[in-house]
A and B are shown apart, each in its own frame.
Chain A
């Protein structure tokens, strides 16, 4: 089983990101479970959502406490929430930021985990016109983790959104994928 935990703030599409990830995994014939952490749903408040992916039925309903991958949609959470709690050794960390791990004071993580950054908010503003980094981060996650293909991610975005919003988010995910591949 592969477990992903997504941290962000209310309004950034954290829950939708987990749902899209589960749809992408389903499209690859896998079992997937996505669910929010059920905190108070307020714009700007820290939000957590989870996604589990497996080859067999997923029965477990506990929160993801030992994720294989962390997607951090808002770097300001690094000072507010213990986002790295329980991350499996050698796990994957993708942060939405224009800065580096070193600039963020996270240099020591680079050696212990598979890490990358992606300017997902900038990509969302460029392609979608709104600061919703979720789809771009999933594109980046596809490149970094190789758990899910970019085609499945873009198909999942197309299932969740339609028209211009879907096209913009797909473009953001593609550019994020290329950005992570190049780093």
Chain B
């Protein structure tokens, strides 16, 4: 059914349609509306046999999800930013144990300095924790990816993170097509766990593994993710056949035919990028885009194919590996066998708007640096750096930037 609703609410409804049995969460902006809505749905009895567990922290949220999943329950949680970091240890446990938990990450920056707004630093910080990471472009895709995520997680016995841009998607009202319970039931069979804590048939989960077998266990984790690369396109096809729309898959090219420049990106910024590309194509620019729908496992071969004829690759990313540059770009380079220039554009950090005007100016540029910070106020940074070189006790950096920005006297 078509409806106009908030992204968070759409995701909550979709998760409810997946018949989770345990939902545990600790609130953090911009994830809050999702778990609030799920809490209400569970309280109304709209989620069937489901327990909503309030926990005291994100570490507890993931620990409860691990326990619930090991006991054979379909488990879901959601978090963002600092909350994801707080669960970091348990994230590795969930994937190491092979527990098919589904989690929404409402992408948000990581402090310090504290910042509640959107970027991808949180998900990117956990890119190697062994979870599958899917990125949603629209609210429709966010809700569709959750339905696929449970299927994917349970088939592979691996946890899946569905990443959606905080505020930009979670707090946006737009049109979504909400599937029926029957459609979701037909696509997502009941959870049939590969391992279960059952007093009738006792097993231990999480044994200590020494040097004699640890490599093999880790290799198996890698092999499972490689298997996901084979299976994800098929499940996306099946989803399209069942629901009548595109969602998920590995990568999505946009107007890449005959494109000299291909812009690689993840998440909701692809919408603005596509509008920018349409405008540039309209005036003859040979440019296209490649959306990465699945970031982990890294779809190496699919990226390689999609970039095969590009003469220049621009990776637009909402995260920064301090001291290196781009994270997504580093991944993209692994997929390029030819010597093709790869330019990193760091954009949208801490919620800085990414505009068509700024995008087309960097996409048009013939002399892009290896790494560009979109709309960076370089003069502002230079003033703070100059002061630091003059004053030993120059004070806190973020506050100095703010004071310079607003023309206030420095202390």
A binding-site residues for B, Cβ under 8 Å: 18-19, 22-23, 25-27, 31-36, 38, 58-63, 65
Contact = CB atoms under 8 A, between A and B. Distances in A.
B172 to A, nearest CB: 4
B174 to A, nearest CB: 5
Given A34-B174, A58-B271, A61-B168, 18 more contacts: A19-B6, A19-B173, A23-B4, A32-B173, A32-B175, A33-B172, A34-B172, A35-B168, A38-B167, A60-B272, A60-B275, A61-B268, A61-B269, A61-B271, A62-B272, A62-B355, A62-B356, A63-B355
B131 interface: no
A33 B173 contact: yes
Given A34-B173, A60-B272, A65 B355 contact: yes
Contacts, number: 64
A59 B351 CA distance: 18
B174 A58 contact: yes
A58 B354 CA distance: 16
Contacts of B2: 26
B343 to A, nearest CB: 21
Given A19-B6, A23-B4, A59 B272 contact: yes
Contacts of B354: 61-62
Interface in B4-35: 4, 6
B117 A38 contact: yes
Nearest to A31: B175
Contacts of A59: 138, 270-272, 274-275
Contact of B4 (A32, A60, A62, A65): A32
A115 to B, nearest CB: 27
A38 B172 contact: no
Interface string B346-363: 000001011110000000
B224 interface: no
Contacts of A25: 4
A35 B173 contact: yes
